[in-house]
Structure 1
């Protein structure tokens, strides 16, 4: 099953194997969208303002036994092109299954930053103190992941959106790793000191940590385009130009830095 995280009413794609999941349901008990809710069973729905769609990820992990599990968004789906916006461009569930015949996990396309991943997340999503505490938590809990953590954050490539599709056992294994880290980090973070955007901290960190986990396990990845049903062709052209520019800027910066280090 592929679950569609949403916090509002929308028009779900008419595709078998997809189910809407209302995230943050505990924070808005008055809102009943008629979908599955992330505040039943074992859940962390109340953490949604800071964990974003990860409260849905947690719910899927703890409350489903699907042989294959996936998470997408009410406006973002795995599909045929970043430049298409019609629900008809979304890959049906049966086709998503065929992708796993030749890979371990399906992830979104690779995004390129003009800074390395550490500098990028510090710009608006995290603080240096929290980042260093995150690294320390990983060092304490999973020291064999530390080199992968450093490797990822020194580069400028990342998949984003907390979107994935994999066998249920692999999906659950990732969740167990991810939430053990985030719950430990929570003990050291005072969210009241963060602005509203940065307070979505754990959702942002989840996006990056998925890359670290995949890197550590040497997983074979199928990167797919993301169909954004609320975007436009013009907006996607702007995003594409930004990605290309970022690659050039990062490459030039790396060459300059390498020259200075000689």
Structure 2
């Protein structure tokens, strides 16, 4: 088992069997802390980290962790937990992960519910619109078997976000085949290198809409887990930013607190 903890800076990393920190965008950094994996060794897209975010860790894992039975991704400030808390002692243990994967195919963070708008509308209010519609075109043209689930995801008010998941190797390869297959074609059709601000993280945001698309198309079973977070959320700021994105389209947009 290897649960990668994606980080872009030195950070307090929990010492739990099966978990391993990885410095994303290692190719762009002067130094990587001792004990951290690098995402720029072997087959990799480390230099594209400004556009792909934590997905550079997933890409590295796809080609460099093929001997692991179970592969997963957490963030330096977000983990799968037994309950929602800020206590690292509540992070899922290796044994709990093994037990859960005996019952379901994929372990996921608790779904985010936006209540007053669909996933498609939420994305379009928060991000550049062209990449989303281009992704829809790519799925329609090259992955038509996924189109129905993609449209279902778009109309849902709920989604599994953060690109976090834990699954067995065969499912991991299936998921990343689909996800990177779609994103690579989108990358050929949009001028992502000219994007500025948070829009430069385009592929990390797009990919969040592909997890549920893959899950439902392939009829995968899953279990949701609450998040253990190392930093507290400013819910007042988060709520006000959500309303600004929805009702004031031309304001500066802030997502993923």
Q: TM-score band (shorter)?
A: 0.7 to 0.9
Q: Give structure 2 stretches of 5+ with no counterpart.
A: 244-257
Alignment-derived partner of residue 99 in structure 1: 100
Q: Is the 8 A contact 1:182 1:202 kept in 2?
A: yes
**After TM superposition, what 4+ stretches of structure 1 lie above 6 angstroms from structure 2?**
none
The answer for the alignment partner of 2:248 in structure 1 is none
CA contact (8 A) 1:124 1:198 kept: no
Displacement of 1:81 after TM fit?
A: 2.0
The 8 Å contact of residues 2 and 93 in structure 1, kept in 2 or not, is answered as no
| Structure label with greater radius of gyration | 1
Q: How does 1:19-98 map to 2 (within 5 A)?
A: 19-28=20-29, 30-34=30-34, 35-64=36-65, 65-82=67-84, 84-98=85-99
Matches within 5 A, 1:151-162: 151-162=152-163
CA-CA distance at 1:125 after TM superposition: 2.3
**Cα offsets for 1:190-224 (capped at 9, x unmatched):** 12443311110100011111111001111111000
> Unpaired segments of 5 or more residues in structure 1?
247-262
Per-residue CA shift, 1:121-178, capped at 9, x if unaligned?
Answer: 1112231x32221111111111111111111101111011110001011111111111
* 1:85-140 deviation line (CA, Å, top 9, x unaligned): 1110111111111111111100000101121111101112231x322211111111
Instruction: Tell me the TM-score normalized by structure 2.
Output: 0.87
Aligned residues between the structures: 236
Structure 2 equivalent of residue 218 of structure 1: 219
Aligned partners of 1:4 and 1:20 also within 8 Å: yes
TM-score (norm 1): 0.86
2:111 aligned partner: 110
